[in-house]
Amino acid sequence: MSFIELKNINKIFHSETEDAYHALKNINLKIKSGDFITIIGGNGAGKSTLLNAIAGTISIDSGNILINDKDISKTKEYERASYISRVFQNPLDGTAPRMTVAENMALAIRRGERRTLSTGVKKSDLSVFKDNLKSLNLGLENRLDTEIGLLSGGQRQAISLLMATMKKPELILLDEHTAALDPKTQKNIMRITDEKIKEKNLTAFMITHNLQDALEYGNRFLVMHHGEIVRDISSKEKKNGLFNVEIETPTTNSDGAFSVTS
């Protein structure tokens, strides 16, 4: 039984103008609880538009988005934030730089709850925050009082990932969340990502330009091209190498499209 379902999703930018662009074309997708789906595609394939549509950052022109048979197509982004979390490409997004690590984590642990005038960080939360940070193996459990904007990009992205999973979401969206990091840090963040998804049995959507990550992680592998899902590769196909992937090198006349064949 599907946990999340996308039905005939369409999105056209600048409609009724000469610059009209059909970013999503009749997207149909069924996602089971616990799926970890990686998504690749060239520039303009529709990957980020798809994540933005699911998150509610942009409205869709037609179609339906359902979670547990509830249609959320018309709900606002802030309403979906109580059950959909997201980690962005830029480590500067998703956290408040002038607030401390503990203050940022306090906001995350109360996601979806009614806001009050009580103090942001409760003493009872500090031990929870320390235990969570210790699991990252980055020494951040000793930096709860540090402004998060003073941390490195990798440290900040690791905390963003932790914040997105502290209160188990229905769905976590990973929007090229390692793209702005150096190769060594990318590997570490992907290790942490995989650990947290498995530990909490999360349902996850991950956009990546790293083909190796798309192949190594997750149980499903989608390929998008010009607003369409052109391949949905199963865990068995990934494991047994029952397909080939070719990537066109981007040029002035190419969008860096991915080509996948059986």
8-34 tens-digit pLDDT? 999 999 988 888 999 999 999 999 999
**So what's the pLDDT on residue 120?**
65
Task: For 148-179, give the DSSP string.
Answer: GGGS-HHHHHHHHHHHHHHS--SEEEEESTTT
Which residues are CB-neighbours of 248 under 8 A, at least 6 positions away? 42, 254, 256, 257, 258, 259
DSSP reduced 3-state for 138: coil
**How large is the average pLDDT for residues 127-131?**
92
pLDDT at 252 over 50: no
Asked whether the beta carbons of 29 and 86 are under 8 A apart, the reply is: no
Domain span at residue 207? 4-261
* Residue percentage of the chain with pLDDT more than 90: 68
Residue 110: pLDDT band by 50, 70, 90 thresholds? confident
Separation of CA 23 from chain center: 19
**So what's the pLDDT on residue 2?**
54
* Cα dihedral sign, 176-177-180-182: negative
Cα(261)–Cα(30) distance, integer angstroms: 22
Q: Which residues, listed in sequence order, are joined to residue 39 by a DSSP beta bridge?
A: 207, 222
**Total of domains in the chain:** 1
**So what's the pLDDT on residue 113?**
64
**So what's the pLDDT on residue 121?**
80
Of 136, 150, 139, residue with least CA distance to 188: 136
**So what's the pLDDT on residue 247?**
46
In tens, the pLDDT along 165-198 reads: 998 999 999 999 999 999 999 999 999 999 999 9
As a whole number, the mean pLDDT across the chain is: 87
In tens, the pLDDT along 195-234 reads: 999 999 999 999 998 888 998 999 999 999 999 999 998 8
Residue 259: pLDDT band by 50, 70, 90 thresholds? low
**So what's the pLDDT on residue 245?**
58
Query: Which residue's entry shows tokens 């391949």?
Result: 231
CATH number (domain holding residue 127):
3.40.50.300
Residue 117: pLDDT band by 50, 70, 90 thresholds? very low
Cα(45)–Cα(60) distance, integer angstroms: 16
Residue 116 CB coordination number (10 Å): 7
